[in-house]
Amino acid sequence: MLLFRSVVQNKMGIQRGNNRVRLIGGSHGGRRLQFPAAMGLRPTADRVRETLFNWLQQDIASASCLDLFAGSGALGFEAASRGAAHVTMIESQRNVFRSLQQNLSLLQLQDVIRLVNADALRWLQGSAEMYQLVFLDPPFNKKLMQPVIDQLERGGWLAPKALIYLEQDVHDEPPQLPDNWRVIRDKTAGQVRYRLVQRAGI
């Protein structure tokens, strides 16, 4: 990704180097948060995140958000900083989850953010809650995008007219979207393709 100075990714996909992410806007804009090196952890780049939240500026305030592959927390914490009413952040790796807990304590956003240490697909098999905005940025090499999309749609997790953010490797085949999902934004930056999709609803 594009965000860090002196960052190297080894053959196992573990990012090494200056592992910090900067929140861009909102009440915590400018804050820098640390996160551990971990398999597949690849925070959304500054310029991509800035573009995304420009797209969302009319929709983020008071939204209920789901960040299914929280990682560094770049997307979930940014949403909370910009006024989301509630953010659920799912992270499966225990050391990364502990880092999220530490950063949540630093930001004092416990009233807004709920952290869950779980596998995203297994968590989606539980009782559905309805979200207005979903961030979907899974590890690029795990082939998780399609099954998660399918489970989100059939499991009742999405509010009518929910917005879904999709981030993937630019070389990967795009997932097959449900018939009632419509792509409203589509861009690339370096090795990343990112899109904003809206679900049709009444």
Model confidence band, residue 5 (pLDDT cutoffs 50, 70, 90): very low
Is 8-199 in CATH node 3.40.50.150?
Answer: yes
Query: What's the mean per-residue pLDDT of the chain?
Result: 88
d(CA 88, CA 104): 12
pTM above 0.95, yes or no: no
The answer to whether 100 and 170 have CB atoms below 8 angstroms apart is no
Q: Give 124's pLDDT tier (boundaries 50, 70, 90).
A: very high
- Note the pLDDT of residue 11: 31
Q: Looking at the predicted structure, is the pLDDT value of residue 15 above 90?
A: no
In this predicted model, what pLDDT tens digit does every residue of 142-194 receive, in sequence order?
889 999 999 999 999 999 999 999 999 999 999 999 999 999 999 999 999 99
Q: What is the mean pLDDT of residues 41-50?
A: 84
Q: What is the dihedral of CA 182, 76, 157, 200, to 10 degrees?
A: -20
pLDDT for the residue numbered 159? 96
**What is the predicted pLDDT for the residue at 109?**
96
Tell how strand 32-34 and strand 20-22 pair up. Answer: antiparallel
Three-state helix/strand/coil letters over 162-193: EEEEEEEECCCCCCCCCCCEEEEEEEEECCEE
Our CA dihedral for 1, 53, 26, 116, rounded to 10 degrees, sits at -70
C-alpha–C-alpha distance, residues 142 and 158, integer Å: 23
